[in-house]
Amino acid sequence: NAGVTQTPKFQVLKTGQSMTLQCAQDMNHEYMSWYRQDPGMGLRLIHYSVGAGITDQGEVPNGYNVSRSTTEDFPLRLLSAAPSQTSVYFCASSYSNRGDTIYFGEGSWLTVV
């Protein structure tokens, strides 16, 4: 049981480049989400999904795109990277919204230069 798997763990991008952060979970969780973590800001929700084909915006969605074609995968796309998107990104999943624990991936460290 791998839990929540994120790739890559580290990435350096040039301004304007695009990339996709991958997230996969093998726990058959309906809910998946992406957070970004910045110093002194805690974690802030970017996008989330409550099931295949259903996504919605969180607190800081600008500059990011998501899709959910399967229950297992929830990729996060940066369309045109900006230095302000330098951050640590965490993918998370949970079975339901009935108080289940939310499980986090190991994080992806992204630097935009």
Partner 1 sequence: AQSVTQPDIHITVSEGASLELRCNYSYGATPYLFWYVQSPGQGLQLLLKYFSGDTLVQGIKGFEAEFKRSQSSFNLRKPSVHWSDAAEYFCASRGAGSYQLTFGKGTKLSVIP
Q: How far apart are CA 99 and CA 67, in angstroms?
A: 24
CB closer to partner 1 out of 78 and 105: 105
Q: Which two tokens stand for residue 98?
A: 């009935």
Q: Which stretch binds partner 1 (CB under 8 A): 60-68, 69-77, 78-86, 102-110?
A: 102-110
CB closer to partner 1 out of 65 and 95: 95
Under the binding rule (CB under 8 A), the answer on residue 24 touching partner 1 is: no
Question: For 107, phi and psi rounded to 5 degrees?
Answer: 100, 150
Q: Is the Cβ–Cβ distance between 19 and 81 less than 8 Å?
A: yes
Under the binding rule (CB under 8 A), the answer on residue 58 touching partner 1 is: yes
CB closer to partner 1 out of 14 and 40: 40
Under the binding rule (CB under 8 A), the answer on residue 107 touching partner 1 is: yes
Q: How far apart are CA 6 and CA 13, in angstroms?
A: 17
Q: Which two tokens stand for residue 63?
A: 């500059």
Under the binding rule (CB under 8 A), the answer on residue 40 touching partner 1 is: yes
Q: Which stretch binds partner 1 (CB under 8 A): 12-20, 65-73, 75-83, 93-101?
A: 93-101
* End-to-end CA gap in the chain: 36
Q: Which two tokens stand for residue 6?
A: 């994120």
Report helix, strand or coil for 60.
Answer: coil
Residues that bind partner 1 (CB under 8 A): 31, 33, 35, 40-45, 48, 50, 58, 90, 92, 94, 97-99, 101-107
